[in-house]
Amino acid sequence: MSAVSTSINEDKRVEEDADTTNTPPSDPVRSASLWFEDGNIIFQAQGKQFKIYRGLLSLQSTVFKDMFSVPQPSVGESLVEGCPIVYLSDAAADLEYVLEAIFLRRWVAVAESIPIKAVGAFLRLGNKYEIEVLRAEALKRLFFEFPWDILAFNQVYDTDARGTLIQDDDWTWIDAANLAREQNVLSVLPIALYWCCREWSVAQLEEGQRRPDGTIATLSPVNERACFRAYSELLKLKENTWAWALATKTAHGCENQVCSMERVQAMRDHLFPTSVSGCLQRWKERYTKGLCLSCTTTANKLQNQGQKETWNALPSAFGLPSWEELVKDRAECLNMV
């Protein structure tokens, strides 16, 4: 199965979602920014209407192109300002992000971060309606923020590049993990779920994170279970990363008491209190402090080696396929764009 294929029968969904004979809900709300006076078709989702252009939609989406090419029954057809209404079951917010991108050139091809909700809308509806430009935009942003390669991970997270393409909000990791699971982009999950475990305790994950609109972001049941099972494994892996701090000696033959004190301090700082934070921390110069040159060299080597071991074991901690399989999955995603 494709890395971004969904379990939804697309033909059936489009047929259901694009029914122009449904009885419209009362008092629909018109979009302020997506209501073109000379538009020739109206989309309605969750009681919100958008008056747009079918020709431009056909250029962007093969699904809409095929749908518009099929003559629609005129008997009982709903019309607003002479335009037929297409009722969609999609979330109005998702549809609005997509239509803003197509008709107002918002969110796409911009060198700034965008909300995870916009990314989700692009991937979700990009897959469903075969809007390749939006699907590609979503994957580009997800794959940058959630890399599969440890070198890319270090570059993104050690240089404060996190949040470059997707806004770094409190709920971003939760929504990204749920989106990846929903759309079967599994290579995003190891890092997305790791950050959920890193940032929040079990109780905090159960409670969720409040968004500005008052809704609560919570992990899907399958993602929540993956995180809960991973906590203990991540704590064990963290000991690999910080093995030099747990050792009685760092460098062979070193009897320097200052080095011993520095190891104890590093252990207190990074291994207690119990937290998965630091599992993927590579060596940094500030860890040298009072270590002798020999211990510094050894600790540097051990920490970076431990980080790689933790990285390689990360997918299995969450019950996911190996990085090798996830990389193939990601390549398949990109080949479809």
In a structure prediction context, what are the per-residue pLDDT tens digits for the chain, which is 337 residues long?
A: 444 333 334 444 444 455 544 555 568 999 999 999 999 999 999 999 999 999 999 999 999 999 998 876 565 567 888 899 999 999 999 999 999 999 999 888 777 899 999 999 999 999 999 999 999 999 999 999 999 999 999 988 877 677 789 999 999 999 999 999 999 999 999 999 999 999 999 999 999 999 998 999 999 999 999 999 999 999 999 998 998 888 877 787 788 889 888 888 888 888 876 788 889 988 887 776 788 889 999 999 999 999 999 999 999 999 999 999 999 999 988 876 5
Please check whether residue 216 lies inside any domain of the structure: no
What range defines the domain where residue 269 resides?
Answer: 234-276+283-318
Full-model pTM = 0.85
Please say whether the beta carbons of 185 and 139 come within 8 A: yes
Q: How far apart are CA 247 and CA 224, in angstroms?
A: 34
Element spanning 248, H or E: none
**Burial 148-167, CB ≥16 within 10 A → b, else e:** bebeebbebbeeeebebbbb
SS3 146: coil
Query: What is the distance between the alpha carbons of residues 172 and 306, in angstroms, rounded to a whole number?
Result: 28
Indicate whether 170 belongs to any domain.
no
- What is the distance between the alpha carbons of residues 77 and 73, in angstroms, rounded to a whole number? 7
In a domain, 123, yes or no: no
Q: Is residue 139 part of a domain?
A: no
Peptide bond into 321 cis (omega under 30): no
Q: Which residues pair with 19 in a beta bridge?
A: 87
Q: How many distinct structural domains can be found in the chain?
A: 1
Give the long-range contacts of residues 65-74, CB within 8 A, separation 24 or more.
Answer: 67/14, 67/18, 68/41, 72/20, 73/20, 73/21
State both tokens at 188.
């995003």
Q: CA angle, 229 as apex, 228 and 232 as ends, to 5°?
A: 95
The answer to whether position 164 is within a domain reads no
Q: Give the residue carrying structure tokens 């809960």.
A: 228
Could you tell me how many helices (H) and strands (E) the chain has, helices first? 15, 7
